[in-house]
């Protein structure tokens, strides 16, 4: 009985103790919560190991008087960021980054304490000495986006290796990490790890969801850095460009640690192991002096007394106190003592603090972080963001530029000197290495860009809290390309021989995603349709829009610049132009064309361009002539309609080409069509009769311009039987059954919003005449409506009527003006919105949003249309810019937006004119221009 009573009392004591602990923890959490903040961070540029992004994390006040907030380095980031802190009472303050450690995962933001009106946070104490195995802890932070979360755990290990986040990403090294069994997520990065007294004993830095483990950074280096910040002193950081590992005595013994030395070390070493050299970077201060497997025993500087090196912090203290000075290390190497003298480098010197942006690419000096991953000297120019220029050249993110324009570049200054010498459009060679093949040098050709994007050099300024930028040199005046001659390949096939001097390959690179175009780089076959004027016909899967850079390749031997002359607003082809003078005496010929009516079973010859830009010839049979019917794409973009195309049986793969008769006369183009099926993007090849091109050429030769009148309706083809069921009279049905005519009736299936046809026609109307002429095919309708007004004879619900419709004049330039504003790419609504979604062309359409921008932060998404700003109506770009220029940077504005189904929403957005100035790109009648507004 007494034993049972004792057990009951014991359980009661344990329960009471736990209850008391819970009460104390609750009080502790309440005391610290006002000092913990949610941090919203926009990485405005890709830089070093991090891509541009919009994220959130946690931080906590460590100096309330100075407004210092401690968080992770991967939150403060090495590159430019814009950040805000949200306190527990939802007061919001701006943050400026004041320090990020070059190696370890901690950094500091600063806010203005005077900006807080309703909360008085206190400084949380940093107590690295209180970290003990078995200590109960709480991780208090912004876990998974929550304002405040509390995760319990127990410190299980104080000497685990730093977590490995993968090659090419930020990784901490040369430090211990703590480990506990508590699962944390991304938003809790930078959370304080507190004990029951409310003291911070570690900094949360990461986790392993699979193992439900959390990784915490020790605070010794943090405390040292904080003291320097409080004293307005520089934070010295030394380096040997060497990675060390902590190995236990059994491994050290296998590496040659002598038994007598081990016995002595165990008396003075409070741990169970020693620091071992893993590797030193080539070109670094320790390269060739320290060897993998060396065991670090002691270290000293000058005439100091040698001290045991037992932990990472003791070695780092020696390095940090002797930057640019000489130190000595006593090592154990293969069972023998070795003393080495080493020059300590400055860790800040090999941490990039500036970048150059040109052609939308971002480049900077190779960092120590990435040099470790590449195992190469800390020199070269690193591509943080390929942008337009480098992605066009095939240079990926993470590449290291070694040479440009045949000039070595080992740093950003040398790179800038080369850029200053390059004119717009100049083609230069680039040598580089990649993460995938670090030992192989790649060579490519880059087209210099000074037209589409600004060129800046930006340098970090921790006093201002941002990266001020200055414009780079304007560069030399563009030089005219000298004429060159082309020799054409001789072909045995007469059709290939006849067309070899008329077929080219066209490359098209797009700087901005407008009109729903998703890709950036295109290529396909082109056909010279007027050699005298340098006109080349391509499909719209090669040149989808007018805005971009054109290169035309003749016979795989000569590469010339071109420009987009015309993009057909309704059908799948465009016309680009080159300067015939640049081809010297080359015998470029206008392709022979013959308009003929193709039918199923006809023999044709496919002459296509292969991957090596030689010609392929194959005799084929026409399978059928059918109308194209594509589903509405998820993102409104060009979609072919109202067109009959030629289908071939088992056509071989080509990059496009033509269909000819047996003599080599072109009777149709062989064009690639791009279309969407659900979330998938597809492309396929069909033939388009050449008569459509001949009609355009007649316009050009007459008036050097193109005019396309459109009824602004999409038509569907119905069988005679279907038309009969829609109450079409027998009289009309008989007219559509002529033996020579195509036995179909056209019906209105979709109207373009905002057009006259939208107001006067209805879906299901049967179209029988245009301007008094019977229409059986799409071509009949298009040919007979090329004027300002068209009288349409329709049958609606069995009744015949005439309707006068005003056509739309389409110029073939498409979108010729865009605005880059706060990270959103704006344009006037393009035709596809009205044609596919029934949206009237009102407001300003968002075609793209850059990561890390205010638009991204405040969820101003692509596919929205802005219709109001701060209550003022916005009908077009001009009205939008007029209102936007009245707004100051760092101020909130209110936007009313509509989505693709006209659903309204209101978004508040805080402007940033420092990193996201307003910029305009426009066609001035002669070429594309860009400028800041």
The closest alpha carbon to 112, from 100, 95, 124, belongs to 95
The Cα 866–Cα 802 span in angstroms is: 38
Contact 204, 188 (CB under 8 A): yes
Q: Is the pLDDT of residue 931 over 70?
A: yes
User: Does 209 have pLDDT greater than 80?
Assistant: no
Q: Could you tell me the pLDDT band of residue 183, with boundaries at 50, 70 and 90?
A: low
For range 522-529, the mean pLDDT: 96
- 580-606 mean pLDDT: 94
Question: Span 724-738, mean pLDDT?
Answer: 85
* Residue 609 reports pLDDT greater than 90: yes
pLDDT band at 275 (very low <50, low <70, confident <90, very high): very high
Rg of the chain over Cα atoms, rounded to whole angstroms, equals: 35
Q: In this predicted model, which residue has the larger pLDDT, 768 or 13?
A: 768
Sequential DSSP letters for 554-571: ETTTEEEEEEEEEE-SSS
Q: What is the DSSP letter of 128?
A: G
Tokens 């007494």 sit at which residue?
Answer: 2
CA gap 207, 154 in Å, rounded: 14
Angle between helix axes 312-320 and 220-230 (nearest 10 degrees) is 30
Q: What integer pLDDT is reported at residue 730 of this predicted model?
A: 87
> Could you give the CA distance from residue 369 to residue 105 in angstroms, rounded to a whole number?
12
Q: What tens digit of pLDDT does each residue of 103-153 get?
A: 999 999 999 999 999 999 999 999 999 999 999 999 998 765 556 788 888
* pLDDT score at 16: 58
Give 186's pLDDT tier (boundaries 50, 70, 90): very low
Q: Residue 479 above 90 pLDDT?
A: no
Tokens of 269: 């070493």
Tell me how far apart the alpha carbons of residues 196 and 20 are, in angstroms, rounded to a whole number. 12
Quickly tell me which residue has 């594309």 as its tokens. Answer: 928
pLDDT tens-digit readout, 743-773: 899 999 999 999 999 999 999 999 999 999 9
pLDDT in tens, 412-442: 999 999 999 999 999 999 999 999 888 999 9
Distance CA 319, CA 485 (A): 63
| pLDDT at 667 exceeding the cut of 90 | yes
Q: Please determine, for residue 616, whether its predicted confidence score (pLDDT) is greater than 80.
A: yes
Residue 18 pLDDT more than 80? no
Average the pLDDT over 7-11 and give the result: 48
Exposed / middle / buried, residue 835 (Cβ in 10 Å: 0-12, 13-18, 19+): buried
Q: Is the per-residue pLDDT at 17 higher than 60?
A: no
Q: Sorting pLDDT into bands at 50, 70 and 90, what band is 281?
A: very high
Task: Enumerate residues 6+ apart whose C-beta is below 8 A from 721.
Answer: none
pLDDT at 304 over 70: yes
Q: What is the pLDDT of residues 151-171, one digit of tens each?
A: 888 998 888 999 888 888 999
Q: Which residue has the higher pLDDT, 650 or 6?
A: 650
Which residues 6+ apart lie within 8 Å of 218 measured at CB?
Answer: 128, 131, 158, 175, 176, 177, 178, 202, 313
Q: Which of the residues are catalytic? A: 74, 105, 188
pLDDT bin (cut points 50, 70, 90) of residue 211 is very low
Question: pLDDT tens, 461-471?
Answer: 999 999 999 99
């Amino acid at each position: 009985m007494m034993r049972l009573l004792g057990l009951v009392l014991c359980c009661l004591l344990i329960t009471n103790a736990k209850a008391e602990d819970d009460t104390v923890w609750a009080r502790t959490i309440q005391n610290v919560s006002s000092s913990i903040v949610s941090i919203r961070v926009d990485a405005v540029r890709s830089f070093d190991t991090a891509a541009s992004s919009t994220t959130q994390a946690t931080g906590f006040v460590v100096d309330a008087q100075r407004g210092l907030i401690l968080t992770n380095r991967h939150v403060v980031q090495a590159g430019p960021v814009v950040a805000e802190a949200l306190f527990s009472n939802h007061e919001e303050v701006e943050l400026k980054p004041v320090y990020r450690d070059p190696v370890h995962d901690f950094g500091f933001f600063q806010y203005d304490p005077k900006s807080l009106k309703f909360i008085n946070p206190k400084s949380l104490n940093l107590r690295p000495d209180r970290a003990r195995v078995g200590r109960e802890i709480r991780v208090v932070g912004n876990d998974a986006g929550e304002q405040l979360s509390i995760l319990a755990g127990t410190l299980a290990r104080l000497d685990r290796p730093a977590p490995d986040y993968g090659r090419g990403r930020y990784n901490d090294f040369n430090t211990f990490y703590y480990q506990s069994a508590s699962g944390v997520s991304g938003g809790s990065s930078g959370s304080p790890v507190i004990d029951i007294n409310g003291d911070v004993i570690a900094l949360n830095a990461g986790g392993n969801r699979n193992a439900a483990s959390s990784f915490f950074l020790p605070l010794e280096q943090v405390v040292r850095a904080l003291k320097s910040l409080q004293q307005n002193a520089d934070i010295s950081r030394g380096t040997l460009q060497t990675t060390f590992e902590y190995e236990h005595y059994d491994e050290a013994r296998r590496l040659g640690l002598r038994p007598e030395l081990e016995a002595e070390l165990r008396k003075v070493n409070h741990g169970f192991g020693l620091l071992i050299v893993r590797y030193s970077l080539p070109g670094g201060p320790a390269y060739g002096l320290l060897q993998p497997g060396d065991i670090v025993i002691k270290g000293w500087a000058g005439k100091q007394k040698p001290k045991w090196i037992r932990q990472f912090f003791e070695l780092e203290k020696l390095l940090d106190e002797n930057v640019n000075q000489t130190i000595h290390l006593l090592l154990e190497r293969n069972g023998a003592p070795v003393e080495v003298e080493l020059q300590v480098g400055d860790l800040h010197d090999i941490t990039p603090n500036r970048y150059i942006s040109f052609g939308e690419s971002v480049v900077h000096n190779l960092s120590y972080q990435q040099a470790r991953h590449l195992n190469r000297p800390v020199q070269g120019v690193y591509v943080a963001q390929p942008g337009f220029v480098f992605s066009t050249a095939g240079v990926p993110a993470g590449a290291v530029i070694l040479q440009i324009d045949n000039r070595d570049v080992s740093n950003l200054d040398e790179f800038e000197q080369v850029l200053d010498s390059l004119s717009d459009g100049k083609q230069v060679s680039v040598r580089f290495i990649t993460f995938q093949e670090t030992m192989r040098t790649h060579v490519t050709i880059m087209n210099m860009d000074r037209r589409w994007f600004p060129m800046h050099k930006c340098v970090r300024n921790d006093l201002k809290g941002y990266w001020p930028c200055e414009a780079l040199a304007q560069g030399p005046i563009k030089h005219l390309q000298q004429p060159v001659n082309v020799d054409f390949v001789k072909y045995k096939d007469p059709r290939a021989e006849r067309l070899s001097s008329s077929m080219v390959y066209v490359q098209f690179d797009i700087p901005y995603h407008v009109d729903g175009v998703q890709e950036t780089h295109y290529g396909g076959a082109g056909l010279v349709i007027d050699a005298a004027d340098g006109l080349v016909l391509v499909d719209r899967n090669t040149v989808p829009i007018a805005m971009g850079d054109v290169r035309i390749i003749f016979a795989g031997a000569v590469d010339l610049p071109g420009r987009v002359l015309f993009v057909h607003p309704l059908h799948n082809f465009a016309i680009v132009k080159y300067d015939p003078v640049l081809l010297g005496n080359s015998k470029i010929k206008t392709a022979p064309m013959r308009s003929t009516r193709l039918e199923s079973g006809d023999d044709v010859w496919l002459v296509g361009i292969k991957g090596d830009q030689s010609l392929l010839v194959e005799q084929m049979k026409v399978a059928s002539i059918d109308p194209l019917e594509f589903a509405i794409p998820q993102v409104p973009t060009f979609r072919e309609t109202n067109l009959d195309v030629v289908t071939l049986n088992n056509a071989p793969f080509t990059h496009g080409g033509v269909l000819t008769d047996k003599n080599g006369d072109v009777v149709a183009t062989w064009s690639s069509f791009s279309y969407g099926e659900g979330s998938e993007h597809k492309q396929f090849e069909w033939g388009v009769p050449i008569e459509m091109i001949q009609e355009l050429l007649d316009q050009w030769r007459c008036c050097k311009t193109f005019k396309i009148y459109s009824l602004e309706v999409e038509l569907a083809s119905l069988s005679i039987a279907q038309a009969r069921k829609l109450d079409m009279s027998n009289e009309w049905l008989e007219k559509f059954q002529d033996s020579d005519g195509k036995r179909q009736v056209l019906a209105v299936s979709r109207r373009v919003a905002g057009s006259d046809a939208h107001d006067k026609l209805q879906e299901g109307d049967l179209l029988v005449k245009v301007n008094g002429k019977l229409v059986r095919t799409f071509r009949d309708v298009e040919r007979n409506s090329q004027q300002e007004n068209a009288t349409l004879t329709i049958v609606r619900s069995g009744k015949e009527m005439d309707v006068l419709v005003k056509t739309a004049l389409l110029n073939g330039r498409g979108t010729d003006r865009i605005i880059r504003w706060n990270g959103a790419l704006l344009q006037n609504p393009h035709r596809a919105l009205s044609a596919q979604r029934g949206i009237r062309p009102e407001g300003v359409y968002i075609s793209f949003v850059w990561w890390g921008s205010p638009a991204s932060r405040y969820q101003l998404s692509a596919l929205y249309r802005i219709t109001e700003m701060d209550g003022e109506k916005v009908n077009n770009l001009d009205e939008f810019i007029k209102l936007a220029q009245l707004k100051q940077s760092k101020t909130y504005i209110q936007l009313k937006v509509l989505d693709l189904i006209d659903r309204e929403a209101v978004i508040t957005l805080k402007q940033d004119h420092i990193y996201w100035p307003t910029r305009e790109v426009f066609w001035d009648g002669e070429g594309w221009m860009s400028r800041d507004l």
